[in-house]
Amino acid sequence: MINFLAAFAWIFDPAHWEGPGGIPVRVLQHLAVTGLTVLIACVIAIPLGLLIGHTGKGREVAVAITGALRALPTLGLLSLLALITLGWGFSSTSLVPAITALVVLAVPPVLAGAYGGVEAIDRQTIDAARAVGMNEWQILGKVEIPLALPLMIGGVRSAVLQTIATATVVAFLTNGPGLGRYILDGLPVRDYAQMLAGSIIIIVLALLLEGVFSLLQRAVVPRGVQATHTRVDETRGHATSGGDRSTAPDPVVAEAEANMQTAAYRTD
């Protein structure tokens, strides 16, 4: 309890909010590293995931690769990449090995969200889009991506949370930026208040981003799908509250599901 009080006292000390080592600067550095990492991971994984989900080819390979990447220890990978990049002429303060290690960590959830979101779409919806004359690019852009977007955002959300928690390893580089500096700098001098304060700030930052991405994930659900889900839930609620519990399909539910499929491929 005393350590927590000392940590909060350290955080709210005005002296720790100024200068190049102040909390605002360290937070921005941490967010910059996280943002760059997730951006690179999205550029790599989202097109690949959409291709896998749309064509249905390469899923087994993608699952195997992402599983293998998840098993890699980030700190060990960072140390290996640091040694390799030093041999290539990069300085010991270069962020290349740290960003590379974090990208390896961020790619699997983004990739899984991309191809999982497309695969989750009802095939009847895709067939209906083809039936109205859409080509493959139109199906991808107007049907698959909008319907897969919530799961895609979920994959990015997972990648952001993993990266922001693991970005502390950047501090293991000489003068590495970010909130991990507080932990690394406090360790040799046993400044446990500073170390705990750095951990608390990282936790708060992760919780804030979790809330933002949770709201964003709900906001990107297509309005037609939201309305249909509401109608289906209300209809099923009325059905279960009555005396008739037959397994025959409810015509209202069937109509709602048909409307959802129609809204999915309706052109502008």
pLDDT in tens, 70-110: 777 777 777 777 777 766 666 656 777 788 888 888 999 99
13 phi and psi, to 5 degrees? -70, 120
- Please indicate whether residue 96 or residue 227 has the higher confidence score (pLDDT): 96
- pLDDT of res. 268: 45
Task: For the chain, give the percent of residues with pLDDT over 70.
Answer: 77
Q: Mean pLDDT throughout 189-218?
A: 91
Residue 106 in contact with residue 163, Cβ under 8 Å? yes
> If you average pLDDT over every residue of the chain, what do you get?
79
Name the nearest CA neighbour of 106 among 186, 181, 162: 162
Residue for token pair 């048909």:
258
Spatial distance between the Cα atoms of 167 and 170, rounded to a whole number of angstroms: 6
Question: Residue 33 corresponds to which tokens in the numbers above?
Answer: 């590293």
Q: What is the pLDDT of residue 170?
A: 81
Q: Is the dihedral of CA 164, 167, 171, 175 positive or negative?
A: negative
pLDDT (tens digit per residue) in 114-157: 988 888 888 888 888 888 888 888 888 888 888 889 899 999 99
CA-CA-CA-CA dihedral for 93, 97, 100, 104, to nearest 10: -130
The reply to whether the predicted model has a pTM over 0.85 is: no
For CA atoms 6, 12, 13, 17, the dihedral sign is positive
Residue type, 93: T
Length of the chain: 268
Mean pLDDT across 221-227: 60
From 55-59, 80-84, 185-189, the region with the lowest mean pLDDT: 80-84
